[in-house]
Structure 1
């Protein structure tokens, strides 16, 4: 047993190191482009507000649909490494052409095709990591997934600041060229550094017949309700960030740059907390950690909804970081455990909850603009609580 563990450790390291670099590359590419997409469309492409809104809706919808199709296909055969290479190549093409193209309709076409395919890199990378961890370190799956999710968070901590520097030096051409370079690196890592992992073994029925490949281990209604619960809890992540600058200036009469300090503190706390929760998952059941994190989210948003000073915002970021770390870091493993033979489909179900939650946050922000930005955090608390209730009811029903 000791010799087997010794043999597994170097193989695991050889797989996780390139995966970490792949996550870093994909994270930086999305962090460079995402925060400035509306500005790019408005200033460089001269798109109208309606055209910008249509672009911002069509892009995540195409990404969700593309990732869903690829996720279903990825579990049928041992081709996940090829899908990672294809996703990196699609991102290279999409962002590379965006660096030089300024026609709205061509850019929209690229967004719903090449960039949408590149969106599958996130769930497929986690699905690949799940298979590697189950093969080489089955007792550390949640820890490994949380560690890789931390790398993605690190990329988002550095990415927007890096984008601001690049934007000042070379404009959006350099922004998208750098993103294309990152996607190209991701494709090369998959091509030269990753090995293909076999598809999960097909179990046998008691009569000896193999279980059909499309037969899910968890009822479909349970999966959909669980994904819906994560969507409800992911929506506050977007809504609270979008509302924060307005809440600080309009409700608390503070300075707008305080929002950056508050959000930066939360991001700094998320990274060690993701690792800590991942390590804790080896001793505490994943569901309990996830539910405790969701409760932290309810407490945080309720606290901000009644806050009257800036100090409360800073003090509440520990609760916020626990919530984000639990949902973003452990939620992936939670869904994957529900579909052990379909890691691609499971991870896609979870990852799709973020763009769907972001789409839900848009109209809620509009309502908050009409009735006060404090309402945004009341809505966040309600959404988080509703998601937690759905998770608990579904788990009890199972």
Structure 2
């Protein structure tokens, strides 16, 4: 009981950070292209450059921060720093309307702020591994649900704020949410600052986890590719949905909003439910089931004849989203139990890369018909599922000679850093 109370106290501030981060991004990202086009008066080329450069800078910054976080006991400081970076970036964007200054801000400040998401979940992984190893995936899934709830509330809230005070209010609200995250990290978070990977020796067991238990580089590369394939359809399908409904299904923008709202309402309890199932069922089958639902939904959507047919498939779509975007974080973290920062960053970067790839694929669908977008989505999900089936954790596929990896244990209970040369087996 004491451990449960301690775990609740540890996850509550992280839940507040997820809530603040979700609102801060939800009020900005859906209107970014509109902001650049209208408030900044940027043309199509400049908007495109911004939409490509900003996420690439975010990938680079998150990768560097993720590696640093696993080598030094500074994860709490990184949560503070990335929150402050977001506060500065959004705060300045409240007033700045010069395109090149905004682009510089996106690279210098907004990009590091993007590391707040993976670092929050990496911090959660350390807390859960220390205090409740058997409920790690459930805890991570719960935090992911909080983030999804924040997005569900933040998007309509942004429309209200935009109508009331324009982009000045929108970016001011985003800056305020980053400030809340920084204050929570400063005054509420504690512990779990021990580095998960050694700076000097990769063979030294950390938190009872030997280096041999981590997945090979080749396994990590292919698993990241699998999640990129699985998450690209999320952006592609979202961008194509209003156009698909209006041109192929005879609906309108209101129908698109109905579909999106229904899916969001379904995925929240499914995230919690699948998270709870991880205490009884191994994580891998649940992730594979989610990926299979992705194949089924996008194939079904490609053949849909009307709006209500598409609406009926949202339970499958929501299961796909919950299984991949929520449990996928823990799946990747299990491949690198000593390096939660790097593992979570790999997963979040796979979403960003998938979102970048969705742009040209949507252009292809605009040329050949929007049903193609969902056909492509089904194919990408099938490719991701196939890779996950072939690349089992701990089994190194054919490729460069990299040291073999063992499957991550289900119940890691690290307490202290061990310096003995003999690794203790995870319980």
Encode CA deviations 1:21-62: one digit per residue, 9 max, x unaligned.
Answer: 110000000001000000000000000100000000001000
Q: Tell me how far 1:210 sits from its aligned partner.
A: 2.4
> For the Cα contact (< 8 Å) 2:197–2:339, is it kept in 1?
no
User: Is 1:44 aligned with 2:39?
Assistant: yes
Write the distance in 2 (CA, Å) between the matches of 1:175 and 1:190: 23
Structure 2 vs 1, CA of residues 334 and 266 (structure 1 numbering), >3 Å: closer, same or farther? same
Q: Does residue 118 of the first structure (1) align with residue 113 of the second (2)?
A: yes
> Which of 148, 151, 168 is the matching residue for 2:163?
168
- In the alignment, structure 2 segments of 5+ residues that lack a partner are 397-427
Aligned in 2, Cα 1:202/1:332: closer, same or farther, shift over 3 Å? Answer: closer
- 1:233 maps to 2:214: no
> CA offsets per residue over residues 92-138 of structure 1, 9 Å max, x none?
00000000000000000000110001000000000000011111111
Tell me the equivalent position of 2:247: 250
* Correspondence 1:380 to 2:374: no
Give the CA deviation at 1:147: 0.3
Q: Secondary structure at the match of 1:282?
A: coil
TM-score norm. by structure 2 comes to 0.89
- 2:337 is equivalent to residue 340 of structure 1: yes
Which of 316, 319, 322 does residue 316 from structure 2 map onto?
319
Which ranges in structure 1 are unaligned for 5 or more consecutive residues? 1-5, 204-208
Residue of structure 1 equivalent to 2:399: none
In the alignment, what sits opposite 1:268? 265
In the alignment, structure 1 residue 297 sits paired with structure 2 residue 291: no
Contact 1:80 1:196 (8 Å CA) reproduced: no
Query: Within 2, Cα distance between the matches of 1:228 and 1:150?
Result: 24
Following superposition, the deviation at residue 211 of structure 1 comes to 5.1
CA displacement, residues 69-102 of structure 1 (integer Å, 9 cap, x when unaligned)? 0000000121110000001100000000000000
Q: Which residue of 1 aligns with 2:362?
A: 365
In the TM superposition, residue 309 of structure 1 has moved relative to its aligned partner by 1.3
Q: Which residue of 2 aligns with 1:177?
A: 172
SS of the residue corresponding to residue 395 of structure 1 reads: coil
| Runs of 4+ residues deviating >2 angstroms | 198-203, 209-216
CA, structure 1 residues 305+192, in 2 after alignment: closer, same or farther (shift >3 Å)? Answer: same
| Pair 1:330–1:26, CA change in 2 (3 A) | same
Distance in structure 2 (CA, Å) of the matches to 1:367 and 1:201: 43
For the pair 1:221 / 2:218, whether they are aligned, the reply is yes
Residue 97, structure 1, aligned to residue 88, structure 2: no
**SS in structure 1 opposite 2:384?**
helix
User: What TM-score does the superposition give when structure 1 sets the normalisation length?
Assistant: 0.95
Q: Deviations over 1:201-258 (max 9, x none)?
A: 679xxxxx72599967211011011011000010000000100111111111112210
Which residue in 2 is equivalent to 1:206? none
Name the structure where helix makes up a greater proportion of residues: 1
Residue 3 of structure 1 corresponds to none
User: How many residues are matched?
Assistant: 388
Cα distance in 1 between the residues matched to 2:2 and 2:392: 37
1:210 aligns with 2:207: no
* Shift, 1:310, TM fit: 1.3
CA separation in 2, counterparts of 1:290 and 1:159? 27
Q: Which of residues 281, 284, 292 in structure 2 aligns to 1:284?
A: 281
Contact 2:3 2:131 survives alignment (8 Å): yes
Contact 1:79 1:196 in 2 (8 A): no
1:17-28 superposed matches below 5 A: 17-28=12-23
Structure 1 residue 322: deviation in Å? 0.1
Q: What CA distance in whole angstroms lies between the structure 2 residues aligned with 1:388 and 1:27? A: 28
Question: Do the aligned partners of residues 48 and 215 (structure 1) sit closer, same or farther apart at CA in structure 2, a change above 3 Å counting?
Answer: farther
